[in-house]
A and B are shown apart, each in its own frame.
Chain A
Amino acid sequence: MAVIPRFGAIILCGGQSRRMGFSKALLPFGKETMIENAIHILDQIASEIVVVASPDQILPEITSEIRIVRDPIAYQGPLTGMQSGLRHISDQIDSVFITATDSPLLHPELILQLFKQSETYDLIMPFDGKYYYPLTSVYKVKPVLEKVEQLIREDRHRPFFLMEELHSKTIHVNELKEFDPYLDSFRNINTPVDYRNILRISSMTIPEEFHAPAVNVEFYGVPRLITKVANATLEAENLVELISELSRNFPELKGPVIVNETLHPAYRFMRGTSEFLMDLQTPLVANDKILILAVDAGG
């Protein structure tokens, strides 16, 4: 993929990583860290990259072509990060793709498409029917920087105001499926569960310290008939992760047992034979025995 002239990229990596409990920029992703991975992807398409970090943030060694700027104060939110990035991008750049370091599966084809469609607009922002993705969007440097500075002066820190107040275009994510069939570019990592799920779908090993507890899942009745196994050991820190692991390892459960990423109400989870797990956020502990049973037991 060729680099697009006058097109740059800004990577915001100074976020707090609070729910992750570990600097997202430094998370291992294959042989690299997440920040290195983002740079590698964007390098294929952007003629200039600016990384915006927080004041004391530790970063891996980054090639000297990449400009690293530090926010004056840490954790002021994405608008401040955008301001630093836009201020430091060179004059040769007209528009930029802005991302955070936590979307490791960015597709350059999708970014290119956003760029192409951004022509006459100040910004183009994807939308999935529920959420906007300001950190997977393309912005015109000049008008956007002016607006960002104005918003910060007015103490209005939501990137969404940019969309409202500039000449902007939204694009439904489904229109981008041609360029990224599973819309992986929009998957981001906020929690260890997200992190593991992304590693799993990328067939990467989960680093030792990020493993979830290994639990033993026992299948009964129809789930057992479908999976053709009595039990399976899966790693999951809660039932949400367990459900996604079940779907990945036993895709045939999707439909009859797992619907919309949750257990069909005709089934339930139990820990052992006395604890009913009603809350999907219930933390799991290593060696838990998790039973999947029909609600209609007996009869």
Chain B
Amino acid sequence: MIPGYHGKYLRLDLSNKIMDFPEIGSDIYSQVIGGVGLGVWILTRETPAGYDPLSPDAALVFALSPLVGTPLTTSAKFAVIAKSPLTNRICDAMCSSHFAMAAKKVGVDAICIKGKLEEPSILFIDGTGDEPIRFSLSTAAPYLGDTAAETERKIRLESGTDWQIISIGLAGEMQIPFATLSHDGRHAGRGGLGAVLGSKNIKAIAVRGDKRTNMANPNETMKIARSLSERSFTPATAKYRELGTVANLLVFNRFESLPTRNFQEGSFLEVESLTQHDLAPARKIAKNSCAACTIGCEHIYSLKSDKGENTKGVRMEYESLFALGPLCGISDPEMVLKASALCDEFGLDTISTGGTIAFLMECLDKRFIPQGSDLNITPKFGDGESVLSLIHDMMSPNPSEIAQLLKLGSRNAAHQIGQNSIAFAQQVKGLEMPGYHPRKLHAMALGMAVGSRGADHNRTGAYEVDFSEHDRSAHSVALAVIETEDKAAIMDSLILCKFIRGVFQDFFQESAEMLSAVTGSCYTKDLLIESAKLIVRMRKAFNQREGWSPEEDALPESIFAQDSKEESYLTKTRLEDLIKHYNAGRGFSDDGWLSDLQMQCISRLGSDHSTK
């Protein structure tokens, strides 16, 4: 057995209640590593082309990685991979903490869930003791409607705290296409992975185990771990330690890149009112971190009850702050915290929720939706109460017309509304855009347009290019974007938290050293870069199999400068040029198809892809 790995994944067919353990060859590990890379490989081979992401055919993969369970800081992470019901394209999301370590101790490198149960259930996977790995099911009836956090708490109370649990909230049960899946308050947020689990009639998965993998070179691993931990205390990570991602708000506002009122503007006049205390929307009451992390980027803010008392803490990230604040024109920090807490409780992706609401607000402003009496709620830019009501309404048994539009996500809502409203549905491939107005951030614009899971800021670090000195030629920007995407592919496959990226001198080299120390295989910088490229291609290949077409790699029309009054504004031609160079840099055809040779390499990995 290769150190760091268990050599197999767990495949559970819920419809037939059959569990087996397909082997994973060492050649696969050496190329896809783990996490996202391993996950996309499993997803591809476990699903038929063109399947419905919410059908029993769909697979939901939880992929672990060789670094999980090692002393390397920020490595307690897992990847969740499925076809997104929001985009019908690949969705790979990260989540962290104890679930990752417990799932790996089950004795497998990934868990692949297929089929569908008849009744809502809790799935237990037990890898403790000398008996073979086993699973059991119990009814989810007592937990239905509960928040994910509450479900976790109850299950652990009843079944024991050695279980680690991922769960969905009501949104997942309702299969809302942007429902999250969460563990210990952290969400695999984007793309509706919670709906995929909900579609299988599973409310929560509990895992435990005692199977450890060993490290090929524990001394060397310890040495690297120590150095990494030390570096994680330097100014390179201070932003995350001291402020968390909310620090982005004022910077983006200054760069006119803070999406405001459905991306109609790039800066928000009232931004300062959202940064009252220590540059955050409210007084900070606690700090938290994932398991095995020395940075600790989670900042918890106090939320006042209606009577004005501080009742509970809300975790706040930049993406939630932007999406439920400036994007909807909201400057009241209490409202943003309340909306964010509400999304958390229902298990809704804050970006897609805020993004779709902001889109509906603009539609109403433009009179694309008649403001008749059938609308009991009229969401308006700046009106926080209307945001809260609309979310509640969507989650009610009889949502109003506008809430039903919200439920679709912005792209599908735009298709229903028509009138070319798709031009300002701020999404790519159906995934609502994150908090980066791409009008002036050309690299980010490219990163979001070509991203395999849609408009995304996690599977690419393209914004890093915009925020540093760079050559603005399309060729250079495209190459730089490719590099950040490659880096992210490796970070997400190792897995390490992206917030530690600032401490590396030579990321690929240091990653190769880490992997070599843990697995004993001889990784090199070049091999890892090859792996990164392969992983990016595998995601693209999956999308091609599921019906991708070149027109999808685009941004909404409203983003582009109509007249180029400002030279730095993105035009459609510029984006097309960037995409062309990106495709060339990736070795794709001009319009973005994988080459035959690239397809063959992927097929050789044992995945079943049929293209076009």
Contacts and interface: CB of A to CB of B under 8 A. Distances in A.
B21 interface: no
Interface in B459-511: 461, 463-464, 467-469, 498-499, 501-502
Interface string A209-222: 00000000010111
A298 B254 contact: no
A257 interface: yes
B88 to A, nearest CB: 28
B262 interface: no
B436 A221 contact: no
A221 B278 CA distance: 9
- The binding surface of chain B is classed by DSSP as helix
Interface stretch (A21-29, A141-149, A159-167, A272-280): A272-280
A295 B504 CA distance: 13
A221 B245 CA distance: 10
B226 to A, nearest CB: 20
A266 interface: yes
A271 to B, nearest CB: 12
A224 B440 CA distance: 24
B236 interface: yes
Interface string B222-251: 000000000000111011101101011011
Contacts of B461: 298-299
A201 interface: no
Contact of B251 (A220, A266, A274): A220
Given A297-B463, A298-B436, A298-B463, A218 B254 contact: yes
A70 interface: no
A167 B173 CA distance: 91
Contacts of A294: 238-239, 247, 251
A293 B251 contact: yes
A297 B502 contact: no
Nearest to B568: A274
Interface in A250-299: 256-257, 264-267, 273-274, 276, 278, 291, 293-299
B255 A221 contact: no
- The binding surface of chain A is classed by DSSP as loop
A274 B567 CA distance: 12
Nearest to B238: A222
A297 B248 contact: yes
Contact of A225 (B240, B243, B245, B498): B243
Nearest to B469: A276
B469 A278 contact: yes
A273 to B, nearest CB: 5
Nearest to A289: B254
Interface residues of A, number: 24
B468 A276 contact: yes
B350 to A, nearest CB: 16
B527 interface: no
Interface string B250-261: 111011100000
B457 interface: yes
B254 A295 contact: no
A291 B467 CA distance: 12
B279 interface: yes
A298 B239 CA distance: 10
A298 B467 contact: yes
B578 to A, nearest CB: 18
A256 B235 CA distance: 6
Nearest to A275: B469
Given A222-B235, A266-B236, A267-B235, A298 B457 contact: yes
Given A222-B243, A298-B436, A298-B463, A273 B238 contact: no
Given A266-B502, A298-B248, 4 more contacts: A221-B243, A276-B469, A296-B239, A297-B463
24 contacts: A220-B251, A221-B239, A222-B239, A222-B243, A222-B247, A224-B279, A225-B242, A225-B279, A256-B238, A264-B235, A266-B236, A266-B502, A273-B255, A273-B256, A276-B468, A293-B467, A295-B502, A297-B464, A298-B457, A298-B461, A298-B463, A298-B464, A299-B240, A299-B463
Interface of A: 218, 220-222, 224-225, 256-257, 264-267, 273-274, 276, 278, 291, 293-299
Interface of B: 234-236, 238-240, 242-243, 245, 247-248, 250-252, 254-256, 278-279, 436, 440, 457, 461, 463-464, 467-469, 498-499, 501-502, 568
